[in-house]
Amino acid sequence: MATQPSGSSAERVRSLTKEVERLRRDRERLRSSASFRLGRHLTRAVQQPWRLIALPVTFPLAVLNVGRERLGRRPAASRALEAPALQPRRHSIVLFPTNGVGFGHFTRMLALARCLKSTDPSLDVVMFTSMPTLHIPYSEDIPTYHLAGRGKHDDMTSSTWNGILEDMLRTVLDVHRPHAFVFDGAFPYRGMLNAIAEESTMHSFWVRRGMFREGSSVPVDSIQHFDHIVRPGDAVPAPLSDEADHGVPIMSTPPFLLHHRDELFDRTMARRRLGLSEGKKAVYVQLGAGRINDITSEIRTVTDLLLEDPDVEVVLGESMLGARLEMNMERVILLRDYPNVLYLNAFDALVQAGGYNSFHEARQVRIPTLFLPNMNTGMDDQLARTRVGEQEGWAVVNQDRTRSGLERSLASLWGLEPTVADAFEPWSTELVAMLTNRSKVRTGE
């Protein structure tokens, strides 16, 4: 009978196994690189002279195929790796929110994490992210792993960054052995796809707003790495008839919101925490662009117009992802916190862009809101979304960004009355059940 290795020996074996797997991934990553494949094409032509005759045709075709792979128009070269023999799946889930210009992806995954932990306290919820705000999930007792985005590195190639991503995520998946993996982002990273491709018994979900249209920038072979596409609800439903046929089931859910109405600070507490004056009206301004010290900027124009009323105080939402605002104005308070939605009950009016999260958070409380939708957001139709608030009677939508146009919109804003919001839709019971029930996820029931 073979003897079992001692504890130290077993640990050494596991360490060596992981090192072998890392070297194997490095080898396959090298073999699938453009330089290796094109160099191999030329080498074969030299080794087999009959190939030289066709080289003026075959080499440009090889370059074209590599280029199409990089653009996502052709499936990436298969690496044909065998999944290593590892421990069984645990009652664990890994969430991967990418970082965008704001907190959208991160907030949705943090909201999902909180819901899952509340539904099933025994579920091990882990986060892996390129967002720098690690203290937020840490305060929620969510173990979090961080990889700085490629833009934070000087002269780092996409292939190098994706290699780091693959190795780090592979290690996280090896350690936690999750039964489910959830990615929230607009574009799937090749390193991530390579890592989850080896996890044949792990159920994978892609939380993504917007549709997959023919000719989109999403790589053609990326969607098939996921078992479900989760589409969070929006005020303006997308026409599913325009969806490209990709064969992956789509699950539509209510909007993902981090906090619901009954979880917000009450008015007294919120105003006290912000240091607002007794008897003055408070307006929250969060436009996400422009500098307060630039007197021609949109945010400065709005602030100046509001402050023309001596009974108004302005609270400026300052993103935790950017540099601190250099501002010293009377009756203006900076709020650099997360999530700012907790303070909504403190305000008599809001001035915001029309982003997904901020709109649905405002829609919960229906405080009179002036929306200045961003008209340059690609497939995110902020104008159509914010017009829903206008139709429901609690919002004004401005498309005339001149000073006189903003002045008229603010006058209309003060004419609105707070309305009673509808009961908010609960979380998707189907999605929560799939993510908390390990056996159901793995069998696809």
Cα angle, residue 318 at apex, residues 315 and 323 outer, rounded to 5°: 145
Give the pLDDT confidence score for residue 267 in this predicted structure: 95
Alpha helices (H) in 240-381, listed in sequence order = 267-274, 298-307, 356-365
Q: Quick one: tokens of 322?
A: 């950017």
Q: Quick one: tokens of 74?
A: 């052709």
Give the pLDDT confidence score for residue 157 in this predicted structure: 87
* 255-283 confidence digits (pLDDT tens): 888 988 889 999 999 999 999 999 899 99
* 349-397 confidence digits (pLDDT tens): 999 988 888 899 999 899 999 999 887 766 678 888 999 999 999 999 9
For the chain, the structural domain boundaries read 36-74, 92-257+427-443, 261-413
- Tell which CATH classification among 3.40.50.2000, 3.20.20.70, 3.30.70.3270, 3.40.50.720 matches the domain 92-257+427-443: 3.40.50.2000
Strand order in the sheet with 92-97: 144-146, 124-129, 92-97, 180-184, 203-207, 228-232, 250-253
Tell me, what amino acid is at 223? I
Q: How far apart are CA 392 and CA 212, in angstroms?
A: 30
**Residues shown for the chain:** 445
> What does the buried/exposed string (b/e) look like for 102-129 if buried means 16 or more CB atoms within 10 Å of the residue's CB?
bbbbbbbbbbbbbbbbeebeebbbbbbb
The DSSP result for 359-381, as a single string, is: HHHHHHH---EEE---S--TT--
- Of 147, 198, 224, 204, the closest CA to residue 24 belongs to 198
Tell me, what amino acid is at 140? E
Q: How far apart are CA 369 and CA 338, in angstroms?
A: 20
144/6: higher pLDDT: 144
Could you identify the residue written with the tokens 């979900």?
A: 205
- Tell which CATH classification among 3.40.50.2000, 3.10.440.10, 2.60.120.10, 3.40.50.300 matches the domain 261-413: 3.40.50.2000
Give the pLDDT confidence score for residue 179 in this predicted structure: 94
For the chain, what percent of residues have pLDDT higher than 90? 38
Give the pLDDT confidence score for residue 443 in this predicted structure: 40
Q: What is the average per-residue pLDDT within 232-255? A: 76
Give the pLDDT confidence score for residue 295 in this predicted structure: 56
Flag whether pLDDT at 131 surpasses 60: yes
Give the pLDDT confidence score for residue 441 in this predicted structure: 47
C-alpha torsion angle, residues 218, 222, 224, 225 (rounded to 10): -140
Flag whether pLDDT at 96 surpasses 60: yes
Residue 350 has a CB neighbour count (10 Å cut-off) of: 25
- State the pLDDT confidence band at 303, using cuts at 50, 70 and 90: very high
118/327: higher pLDDT: 118
- Of 173, 159, 160, 143, the closest CA to residue 66 belongs to 159
Q: How far apart are CA 88 and CA 137, in angstroms?
A: 26
Give the pLDDT confidence score for residue 293 in this predicted structure: 55
Identical topology for domains 92-257+427-443 and 261-413:
yes
Report the range out of 34-48, 217-231, 234-248, 356-370 with the highest average pLDDT: 356-370
Q: How far is CA 261 from CA 257, 267, 286, in A?
A: 10, 12, 20
* 146-197 confidence digits (pLDDT tens): 998 888 888 888 888 988 999 899 989 988 999 999 999 988 898 999 899 8
Flag whether pLDDT at 343 surpasses 90: yes
Full-model pTM:
0.77
The per-residue pLDDT of the chain, averaged, comes to 81
Alpha-carbon dihedral sign for residues 250, 255, 258, 261: negative
Residue 85 has a CB neighbour count (10 Å cut-off) of: 6
Flag whether pLDDT at 428 surpasses 90: no
